[in-house]
């Protein structure tokens, strides 16, 4: 009698424990998805890295047009703070699901210019240049109008991820937008 009671109790407890574990796993998974899923946090076709959302576009635009296009999405051309972020952008050429033939891309605009003062590069958010990753010999303002900057794409493996200055009047086929990550609540995560 007692034995069967105890065995029944153990059975009930173990079932309760299993249900509790299931709920726990469910809750943990949900919060994990909330935290890292690009679909939830950054929106469709935007990719999250360290508090920002990124999207690479293939559209034929000048630097200023590309900036406006990013700004329409509450973003701007990408500001690159460190090597980790630059490394992420190299990966973005392949992460970005809607890109056509990433291996054929030469360059993409980033949010860096020396338009205001020749030779003094400033990020579009006003940050002065600290981390940089220039191609050897760049920036060289080679034709006197090279005041915008591009990151080299996979097409040129030897310089992939490095930066070149390019002509301000150039139209690029590719560029990268960045905006701060916002949680579902609409609260902006502070830096
Ligand atoms: C300037 O840099 C570009 C790459 O942006 C390179 O192709 C060119 O040869 C360089 N010109 C000079 C004069 O160094
Ligand atoms: C992430 O962002 C913070 C704040 O902007 C910065 O201090 C940190 O270096 C960044 N980490 C990486 C891995 O980029
Ligand atoms: Ca950034
Ligand atoms: Ca220049």
Using CA atoms, how far apart are residues 191 and 179, in angstroms rounded to an integer? 12
Distance from the alpha carbon of residue 66 to the mean position of ligand 2, in angstroms: 25
Handedness of CA 44, 36, 88, 147 (dihedral sign): positive
Distance from the alpha carbon of residue 80 to the mean position of ligand 3, in angstroms: 5
Can you tell me which atom of ligand 2 is nearest the CA of 85? 14
Distance from the alpha carbon of residue 178 to the mean position of ligand 3, in angstroms: 7
Q: Which helix (H) or strand (E) holds 8?
A: helix 2-36
Best mutation site among 81, 123, 190 for ligand 2 pocket (most ligand atoms within 8 Å of CB): 81
Secondary structure of 41-103 in the HEC alphabet? HCCCCCEEECCEEEEEEEEEEEHHHHHHHHHCCCCEECCCCCHHHHHHHHHHHHHCCCCCCHH
Give residue limits of the domains in the chain.
Answer: 1-36, 46-180
Give the pLDDT of residue 143. 86
Give the pLDDT of residue 9. 54
Distant-in-sequence, close-in-space partners of 115: CB < 8 Å, separation ≥ 6: 147, 148, 168
Using CA atoms, how far apart are residues 3 and 35, in angstroms rounded to an integer? 47
How far CA 125 is from CA of 115, 133, 179, in Å, comes to 14, 18, 11
Using CA atoms, how far apart are residues 95 and 72, in angstroms rounded to an integer? 22
Compute mean pLDDT per 10 residues along the chain, 191 residues long, and list them.
57 55 42 45 94 97 97 97 98 97 97 97 97 97 94 98 95 95 54 45
Distance from the alpha carbon of residue 148 to the mean position of ligand 1, in angstroms: 14
Give the pLDDT of residue 58. 97
Best mutation site among 137, 146, 166 for ligand 1 pocket (most ligand atoms within 8 Å of CB): 137
Give the pLDDT of residue 4. 62
Q: Which helix (H) or strand (E) holds 111?
A: strand 107-113
Give the pLDDT of residue 57. 98
Q: Identify the three-state secondary structure at position 152.
A: strand
Domain at 46-180, CATH from 3.90.1150.10, 2.60.40.10, 3.10.100.10, 1.10.3720.10: 3.10.100.10
Give the pLDDT of residue 28. 40
Tokens standing for residue 32: 């994990």
List beta partners, residue 174: 58
Handedness of CA 111, 102, 136, 130 (dihedral sign): positive
């Amino acid at each position: 009698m007692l034995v069967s009671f105890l065995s029944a109790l153990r059975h009930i407890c173990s079932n309760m424990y299993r249900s509790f574990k299931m709920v726990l796993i469910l809750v943990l998974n949900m919060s994990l998805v909330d935290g890292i899923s690009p679909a939830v946090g950054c929106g469709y076709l935007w990719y999250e890295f360290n508090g920002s959302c990124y999207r690479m576009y293939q559209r034929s635009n000048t630097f200023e047009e590309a900036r406006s296009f990013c700004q329409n999405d509450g973003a701007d051309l990408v500001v690159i703070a460190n090597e980790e972020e630059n490394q992420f952008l190299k990966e973005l050429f392949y992460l970005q699901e809607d890109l056509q033939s990433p291996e054929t891309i030469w360059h993409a605009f980033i949010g860096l210019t020396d338009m205001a003062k020749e030779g003094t590069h400033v990020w579009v958010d006003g940050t002065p240049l600290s981390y940089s990753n220039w191609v050897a010999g760049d920036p060289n303002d080679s034709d006197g109008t090279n005041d915008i900057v591009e990151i080299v794409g996979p097409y040129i493996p030897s310089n992939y991820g490095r930066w070149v200055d390019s002509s301000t009047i150039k139209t690029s086929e590719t560029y990268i937008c960045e905006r701060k990550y916002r949680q579902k609540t609409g609260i902006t995560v502070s830096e």
